[in-house]
Amino acid sequence: MNGLRSMILSLAEGPAGHEFVAASHAPSPLQPVLFFVLELGAVLAIAGMMLCLYRMVSGPHLADRVLSGDTLAFQVVGLVILLTVRLESTVYLDAALVVAIIGFASTLAFAQYIGNLKRRTES
């Protein structure tokens, strides 16, 4: 778990480092438990993304593929929010909101496409 923690942090911090991190208060005794829960959540979110990718590859209908993409977007949002809690930073929540909006818009666009598909092939 320690190697995973350092890997996640090194991926997440990037060149900006601790510029936006607001760690002014003293850590509480429950903080190690919370960090363990967050790492477990990262692992489970990535496992959920794998499951969504399976459904996206094997979906019998086009709607199955699109809804797995929708779920994938929400899993990414959850992962970004987990990162926010882990780094106590405010800037990552913007990324979460942007991913949610893009996932919603792409779902609507694909739904329009699926709904027009039958009429297009008939004419």
Partner 1 sequence: MTWQTIGDALSIICALAGIFFMFVGAIGVVRLPDAYNRLHATSKCSTLGIMGLALAAVFHVGTLAVTTKALMTIVFAFVAAPVGSHMLAKAAHIDGMKPWDRQMSDELQQDKDRQAGKSPGNAPREMRLGPQNRASGGPSGADPTPRMSTAV
Sites of contact with partner 1 (CB under 8 A): 22, 25-31, 33-34, 37-38, 40-41, 44-45, 47-49, 51-52, 54-55, 61-64, 66-68, 70-71, 74-75, 77-78, 81-82, 84-85, 88, 90, 93-94, 96-97, 100-101, 103-104, 107-108, 110-112, 114-119
Q: Which of these, 31, 29, 16, 34, lies nearest to 90 by C-alpha position?
A: 16
Nearer to partner 1 by Cβ, of 15 and 61: the residue is 61
Nearer to partner 1 by Cβ, of 8 and 67: the residue is 67
Compute the least distance from the CB of residue 16 to partner 1, in Å. 17
Compute the least distance from the CB of residue 110 to partner 1, in Å. 8
Q: How far is CA 8 from CA 1, 36, 73, 80, in A?
A: 10, 13, 20, 12
Nearer to partner 1 by Cβ, of 10 and 122: the residue is 122
Give the C-alpha separation, 105 to 108, whole Å. 5
CB atoms within 10 A of CB 35: 15
Nearer to partner 1 by Cβ, of 16 and 117: the residue is 117
Q: What is the DSSP string of 23-34?
A: --SPPPTTHHHH
Give the C-alpha separation, 16 to 4, whole Å. 20
